[in-house]
Amino acid sequence: MNTIGVLGGGQLARMLALAGAPLGVRFRVLDQNPDACAGQVASLVVADYADEPALAAFADSVDVVTFDFENVPAWAAQAVAARVPVYPNPGALAVAQDRLAEKTLFETLGLATPDFAAVDTRADLAAAVARIGTPSVLKTRRLGYDGKGQWRLRSTTDIDAAWQALGGVPLVLERFVPFEREISVIAVRGRDGDFRTWPLTRNWHRDGILSASLAPDAADAALANEAFMVARRLAEHLDYVGVFALELFVEDGRLLGNEMAPRVHNSGHWTIEGAETSQFENHVRAVLGWPLGSTTLRAPSVMLNFVGALPEATPVLSQPGAHWHDYGKSPRVGRKVGHTTISLPSPMGLVAALESLGERIDRREQVAPVLAALSGS
């Protein structure tokens, strides 16, 4: 029986373990938190990522290692890779951890990006704002996700406040993009180079955190094919193994690269019910060197994120086509605690179910933009 080790024990590791169980795969997760929710379904090792003996023992107890969030220190993944295969490779992790390196790579691969500039000093920030203009967004180069480590500059009068909030660490300033929509490519590449994508996904965020996803996105075929080709080039350049997400903006009908997530991704949760093979099962298959499963759509799907606290389960469970996912986490402001996916073969049926559920769990504002997209407005 194969054992996969996961650095990080959050909900993504939890869903990987749940996907791997029917395949006869065991999981061990290493996390600094003794309450890590993946520990409810997998063996949990509580240790700091800087604890080299613990990392060594962990590596020696598994057949292959992966990770469930991109802020696992790249040097810790590299130390583990000296003892056991690690997929995706630590080099891909290192690129995704640095927004400047990430944007530079996008440009190298022919993917346009919002104008950006490295910022290390207050003078750098003033010069970057003078060149890029406002509105713009100042971001930490590292350790930022779900809206963390970001400051929006609406005018030059915001420079001092932005610097006081984020200065002192390497930063990057990016032009603010008045996008038409946000989309993501969820893709997987096997050890043998087999590359597959799920249908393009459209996403909506609130307070920097994913709120809802719709698959498939109604992009034209040319735009979708361009997104898939860029994702393939990225995976091949990095010699990537496993699932990743490429997050994109659509502005004036063209694609702009936003971020890459080197792991299974929130915007791919709909694949559990909505695709032939989920992103979680295919990640398990990929890192073990097994054949990849079909990424074909089963039914149009909407995923609603639950952030902070879960709604009542009964209205969701009683809604035809809806599926309930509780991550086993205590409520906390800004914390992802669960999601629901509605998968139905008829787009009109999906609209009706989403309208009904939005009313019953008091999520009208959350479902409104998805309903507008489904209705074509």
Which tens digit of pLDDT belongs to each residue from 335-346? 999 999 999 998
User: Distance of CA 320 to CAs 34, 265, 350, Å?
Assistant: 37, 25, 10
- Name 173's Cβ contacts closer than 8 Å, sequence gap at least 6: 116, 117, 119, 125, 128, 129, 132, 136, 137, 138, 139, 153
- pLDDT for 168 equals 83
- CB burial class (10 A; 0-12, 13-18, 19+) of residue 303? buried
Contact (CB, 8 A) for 280 and 264: yes
The first and second tokens of residue 326, run together, are 């509780």
Q: What are phi and psi of 332, to 5 degrees?
A: -165, 140
Name the 3-class secondary structure at 39: helix
- pLDDT for 71 equals 83
Return d(Cα 225, Cα 221) in angstroms, integer: 6
pLDDT at 1 over 90: no
**What structural domains does the chain harbor?**
3-86 (3.40.50.20), 115-175 (3.30.1490.20), 181-375 (3.30.470.20)
- pLDDT for 208 equals 86
pLDDT at 328 over 80: yes
> What is the pTM (predicted TM-score) of this model?
0.95
- Name 365's Cβ contacts closer than 8 Å, sequence gap at least 6: none
Average pLDDT, the chain: 94
Q: Give the dihedral sign, CA 128/130/132/135.
A: positive
Return d(Cα 28, Cα 14) in angstroms, integer: 10
The first and second tokens of residue 137, run together, are 């967004």
Return d(Cα 106, Cα 258) in angstroms, integer: 9
C-alpha closest to that of 136 among 107, 99, 184, 172: 172
Say if strands 26-31 and 3-7 run parallel, antiparallel, or are unpaired: parallel
- pLDDT for 41 equals 97
- pLDDT for 12 equals 98
The pLDDT of 42-65, averaged and rounded, is 96
Return d(Cα 108, Cα 105) in angstroms, integer: 5
The pLDDT of 91-107, averaged and rounded, is 92
Return d(Cα 321, Cα 314) in angstroms, integer: 14
- pLDDT for 40 equals 98
Between CA 117 and CA 128, with CA 123 as vertex, the angle to 5 degrees is 25
- pLDDT band at residue 49 under the 50/70/90 scheme: very high
Return d(Cα 290, Cα 243) in angstroms, integer: 14
pLDDT at 148 over 80: no
Eight-class DSSP state of 318: T
